[in-house]
């Protein structure tokens, strides 16, 4: 009985790595200063109180003053902006998809064990709906424009662990309050007789193997997109280094630093 209950519980605890893989892999990212992306305007505030703004038209200003750029300098600014412009929606989409994968996996696991109309599955559905609504409110303004700020980043990375932590906390609370349901479901199978219970146990084990393969395939797809995001951030870091070196006034610009495990794909 404990083995079967553990199948569903283990599923809940092993689907969260989809979050952890965002920005992971070959990326070792650190950030300095404050970053804001809102309505297509990229604002950077460096540790020495410099404010750098890049508009959707790729115009650069430093502390409120427009900076005149030559062709090479403009290419660096444009490249930097374009990489961040791609990275922001990719980050949000990967985060949402990781949540959907985790939520769908847990719902299927408990639905298989308890039945889709069980109260636990309904509680999980409600929890994921609420979390998605909270994320929408946080990442999109009233006009539906994406927004992201420094509070969304780790102290030492690209994506904050806030949503992973919220997810894990909520799931653990629901499971802790539903242990009785799990034991009752398995107990019913036992009361049906040894043959029925053995059949039920075999069914769950077969389902678990198939389930793990499907989750791993979807998780691998998310990881591949996270690797693609990493390459984009490497290009942003490269352009930022060029801006720092070749544009007067930006000597202190070092918002994004990536330790490259591999050569950057250009």
List pLDDT tens digits, range 191-243: 665 556 677 677 677 777 777 787 788 888 888 988 898 899 999 999 999 99
Q: By C-alpha distance, which of 7, 40, 28, 6 is closest to 215?
A: 7
In angstroms, the CA 160 to CA 202 distance is 40
Q: pLDDT at residue 118 above 90?
A: no
Instruction: State the pLDDT at residue 159.
Output: 61
What's the average model confidence in pLDDT over 6-15? 50
What's the average model confidence in pLDDT over 179-184? 70
Q: Is residue 260 part of a domain?
A: no
Q: Is residue 208 part of a domain?
A: yes
What's the average model confidence in pLDDT over 86-98? 88
What's the average model confidence in pLDDT over 61-83? 97
Tell me, letter by letter, the H, E, C secondary structure of 1-53.
CHHHHHHHHHHHHHCCHHHHCCCCCCEEEEECCEEEEECCEEEEECCCCCEEE
Q: pLDDT at residue 91 above 90?
A: no
Res. 23 pLDDT band, cuts 50 70 90: very low
Q: Is residue 67 part of a domain?
A: no
Q: Is residue 209 part of a domain?
A: yes
Res. 257 pLDDT band, cuts 50 70 90: confident
Q: How many domains does one find in the chain?
A: 1
Its domain, for residue 108, covers: 2-31+96-252
In angstroms, the CA 40 to CA 219 distance is 30
Residue 250 and residue 63 in contact, taking contact as beta carbons nearer than 8 Å = no
What is the rounded average pLDDT for all residues in the chain? 79
Which is higher by pLDDT, 98 or 57?
57
What's the average model confidence in pLDDT over 126-144? 87
Res. 265 pLDDT band, cuts 50 70 90: very low
Q: Is residue 198 part of a domain?
A: yes
Q: pLDDT at residue 142 above 50?
A: yes
Q: Is residue 56 part of a domain?
A: no
Tokens of 222: 């998310």
What's the average model confidence in pLDDT over 76-102? 91
Which is higher by pLDDT, 256 or 7?
256
Instruction: State the pLDDT at residue 232.
Output: 93
Range with lowest mean pLDDT among 79-88, 97-106, 188-197, 227-236:
188-197
Q: By C-alpha distance, which of 10, 17, 19, 12 is closest to 170?
A: 12
Q: pLDDT at residue 266 above 70?
A: no
pLDDT tens sequence across 30-42: 778 888 899 999 9
Q: Is the pTM of this model over 0.75?
A: yes
């Amino acid at each position: 009985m404990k083995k079967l209950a553990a199948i569903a519980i283990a599923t809940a605890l092993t689907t969260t790595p989809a979050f952890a893989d965002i920005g992971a892999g070959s990326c070792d990212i650190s950030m300095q200063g404050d970053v804001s992306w809102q309505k297509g305007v990229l604002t950077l505030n460096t540790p020495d109180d410099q404010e750098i703004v890049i508009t959707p038209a790729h115009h650069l200003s430093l502390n409120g003053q427009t900076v005149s750029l030559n062709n090479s300098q403009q290419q660096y600014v444009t490249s930097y902006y374009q990489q961040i412009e791609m990275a922001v929606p990719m980050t949000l989409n990967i985060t949402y998809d990781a949540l959907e994968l985790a939520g769908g996996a847990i719902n299927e696991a408990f639905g298989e064990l308890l039945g889709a109309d069980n109260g636990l599955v309904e509680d999980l559905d409600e929890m994921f709906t609420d979390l998605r609504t909270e994320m929408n409110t946080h990442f999109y303004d009233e006009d539906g424009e994406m927004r992201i700020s420094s509070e969304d980043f780790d102290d030492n990375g690209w994506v904050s662990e806030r949503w992973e932590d919220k997810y894990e906390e909520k799931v653990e609370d629901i499971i802790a309050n539903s242990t009785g349901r799990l034991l009752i479901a398995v107990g019913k199978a036992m009361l049906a007789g040894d043959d029925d219970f053995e059949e039920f146990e075999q069914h769950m084990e077969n389902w678990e193997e198939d389930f793990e393969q499907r989750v791993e395939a979807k998780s691998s797809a998310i990881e591949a997109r996270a690797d693609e995001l990493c390459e984009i951030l490497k290009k942003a870091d490269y352009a930022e280094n060029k801006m720092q070196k070749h544009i007067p006034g930006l000597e202190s610009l070092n918002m994004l630093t990536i330790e490259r495990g591999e050569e950057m794909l250009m």
